[in-house]
Chains A and B, each alone.
Chain A
Amino acid sequence: DIQMTQSPSSLSASVGDRVTITCRASQNIRDYLIWYQQKPGKAPILLIYAATSLHSGVPSRFSGSGSGTDFTLTISGLQPEDFATYYCQQSYSTPRTFGQGTKVEIK
């Protein structure tokens, strides 16, 4: 199985901050990397696929970068509704695997 490791596990930030979350794959997954946002008690929401492609309706302050084994999710100008947990997921091979999540909290 491909292991996905996110860092940090949690972070505190203020509204308006630029936030960066990192995801590392245990092997080369090219650009088969997806990002989701999850709020407590809710299902995850698709943000980004193919490492850099924004899903329809997702605000442009979200962006993704990277390829191979190292990927980044950036939120440029954190908004109150962005406080949530973010997960990366690889779709290079089965079983699909997720990172452990990064919780973005209010400072």
Chain B
Amino acid sequence: QLQLQESGPGLVKPSQTLSLTCTVSGGSISGDNFFWTWIRQHPGKGLEWIGYIYYSGSAFYNPSLKSRLIISVDTSKNQFSLKLRSVTDADTAVYFCARALSGAYSQFDYWGQGTLVTVSS
């Protein structure tokens, strides 16, 4: 059974960089069939797609975050990561990693449990 687990600091100071890692177990991050995804959910709000990355390193970002965002992949560790720089309190959210199928509909079929990141001094 595929499992995804987010890890990283739960508290980040304003203007600093938010860094999270998603570790994939029970399956390989390499392969043609999947995109590895970050999604966030502001407290009490809906879902926002951040971006996703293919195992080769090709990444697709939400334009609203693109200028501050880097998503990377480490196939040797079966992990992918998110770095969001110059954070503000608007970046306080639960961050989920997920797997998207690379077929026509790219639905998110496996999700991590989510990790709350609070931006505060």
**In contact, B113 and A94 (Cβ under 8 angstroms):** no
Q: How far is the CA of A42 from the CA of B96 in the complex (A)?
A: 10
Question: Which secondary structure characterizes the binding site on chain B?
Answer: loop
Q: How far is the CA of A45 from the CA of B96 in the complex (A)?
A: 12
How many B residues face the partner with a CB closer than 8 A? 20
CB nearest to A4 among chain B residues: B46
CB nearest to A44 among chain B residues: B111
**In contact, B106 and A91 (Cβ under 8 angstroms):** yes
Question: Which secondary structure characterizes the binding site on chain A?
Answer: loop
Chain A residues with CB under 8 A of B64: 95
User: Would you call B63 an interface residue if the criterion is a C-beta within 8 Å of the partner chain's C-beta atoms?
Assistant: yes
**In contact, A46 and B109 (Cβ under 8 angstroms):** yes
Q: How far is the CB of A53 from chain B (nearest CB, A)?
A: 8
Q: How far is the CA of A101 from the CA of B48 in the complex (A)?
A: 12
Whether A98 contacts B47 in the complex (CB less than 8 A), given A43-B96, A43-B111, A43-B112, comes out as: yes
Q: How far is the CA of A78 from the CA of B48 in the complex (A)?
A: 28
Chain A residues with CB under 8 A of B112: 43
A45-86, CB < 8 A from B = 45-46, 49-50, 55
Q: Which residues of B contact A (CB under 8 A)?
A: 46-49, 60, 62-64, 96, 98, 104-109, 111-114
